[in-house]
Amino acid sequence: MIPGEIRVASAKFRDDLLNDTLPFWLDRSIDREYGGYFTAFDRDGRRLETDKAVWFQGRFAWMLATIAETVEPRNYWLERAKHGIDFLQRYCVDRDGRYFFLVTRDGQPLRKRRYVFSECFAAMAYAAYGKSAGSEDHCQMAIELFRDLRSHLGPNSFLEPKVNPGVRPMKSLASPMILIGVAQEIRKATGLVECTEVIEQCIDEIRTDFVKGDLACVLENVGKQGEVIETFDGRLINPGHSIELAWFLMEEARQRDLPELTALGIQILDWSLKLGWDKQYGGLYYFRDCHGFPCAEYWHDMKFWWPHAEAIIATLLAWRLTGEERYWSWHHKIYSWSYQHFADPEFGEWFGYLHRDGTLSSTIKGNQWKGPFHLPRMQFYCWQLLEEVIHAQPV
């Protein structure tokens, strides 16, 4: 690629973020009456329900507070981030300190789940807001929640497992992975020293127990000592999730100049693109089996928006860190496929769910799992990374 191409790409990410993705949500997501954000919308922005997904109170607040660090007018973004943060604090925490998963429009609790992802996204939001707004209180809340999360997600976690641990002890990649993501945010906002320690523990656990060199993949679920379990769950690979892990690791490597960690991220990216890319129709499969057996989940071969957003980041970062042209090619290939298939030029934002062959399965733009996170995060991250390239010495 030539410098001009990089400038065009950067401007496109910026433009898509600020003039397409964010306006789609900002125009209709903010509930001025009860606080918080709506997320359930059809393609044209028609609201499909008013229940509030707690993940997105944190995720969108995090995104807006992060943008406020970089994009003027700062107060515009901060005010909108605070809108979600206040709703989180006021309505989304149960008496035991655990967060809900779903609340009504006016903040009454509907569902609480075993997982602590709501808490993770809340911690990220508090951290980013604390930094952007210079609020010591919010930084402190983020740190407290992070310490609480360590006990839920760390090696001696007391999170209630789905499968009887007395009979089949298992652990999931999601736990150390999200903890890396949260720790990176807390460290960025507060400089908390223990974050790096937590990140290193998580990376060690992933490298030792989930990364399988002989199978050339990262498994989603393994035994307590990393044993491969010969069941549907035990053989499960989620290429989009592995690719997200790959760039979490490369980002850590970039921040701390750790070439071995870059190599691990690159390795995981290579495996996941090989396993995950659909050679017949293009796009990334949702699930694969580590032996090539069929998966048990119905939607295993569907193309979801978020693995593509993660792959656009990971390939760009791999190109940035290695300088290898093939990652720029992959980046371009995944970007093009995604914009051809997920983007909705008529009403903005991306569709979320395609059939294997790339045809549209659902016109939905948001529900409890799809909202303003993976897409705007990708656009923001890639924009910032390309700006860094533009302003750095020639690669």
Least distance in Å: CB of 341 to a copy of itself?
Answer: 15
CA distances from 276 to 240, 283, 292, 368, 377 (A): 8, 8, 11, 25, 21
Residue 3 lies near a copy of itself (rule: CB under 8 A):
no
Least distance in Å: CB of 276 to a copy of itself?
Answer: 17
Please give the distance of CA 209 from its chain centroid, rounded to a whole number.
22
Main-chain dihedrals φ then ψ at residue 238, nearest 5 degrees: -115, 95
Q: Are 93 and 99 in contact (CB under 8 A)?
A: yes
Q: Of these, 9, 22, 40, 182, which contacts a copy of itself (CB under 8 A)?
A: 40
Cα 132 to Cα 125: distance, rounded to the nearest angstrom:
10
Residues in contact with a copy of itself, shown as a per-residue x/- string from 275 to 304 under the rule CB under 8 A: ------------------xxxx-xxxxx-x
Cα 122 to Cα 374: distance, rounded to the nearest angstrom:
16
User: Footprint of a copy of itself on residues 327-366 (CB under 8 A)?
Assistant: 353, 355-357, 359, 361-364
Residues in contact with a copy of itself, shown as a per-residue x/- string from 191 to 230 under the rule CB under 8 A: ---------------------------------------x
Residue 48 lies near a copy of itself (rule: CB under 8 A):
yes
Which of 380, 383, 277, 334 minimizes the C-alpha distance to 60?
380
> Contacts with a copy of itself: how many residues (CB under 8 A)?
41
Question: Which residue's CB is nearer to a copy of itself, number 10 or number 238?
Answer: 238
Least distance in Å: CB of 378 to a copy of itself?
Answer: 20
User: Footprint of a copy of itself on residues 142-161 (CB under 8 A)?
Assistant: none
User: Footprint of a copy of itself on residues 70-129 (CB under 8 A)?
Assistant: 102, 104, 108-111
Question: Which residue's CB is nearer to a copy of itself, number 62 or number 351?
Answer: 351
CA distances from 251 to 201, 257, 263, 393 (A): 16, 9, 12, 19
Q: Which of left, alpha, beta for 283 (phi over 0: left; psi -120 to 50: alpha)?
A: left
The encoded tokens of residue 129 equal: 């807001």
Cα 249 to Cα 241: distance, rounded to the nearest angstrom:
12
Q: Which residues bind a copy of itself (CB under 8 A)?
A: 40, 42, 46, 48-49, 51, 102, 104, 108-111, 162-164, 167-168, 230-232, 293-296, 298-302, 304, 353, 355-357, 359, 361-364, 367-368
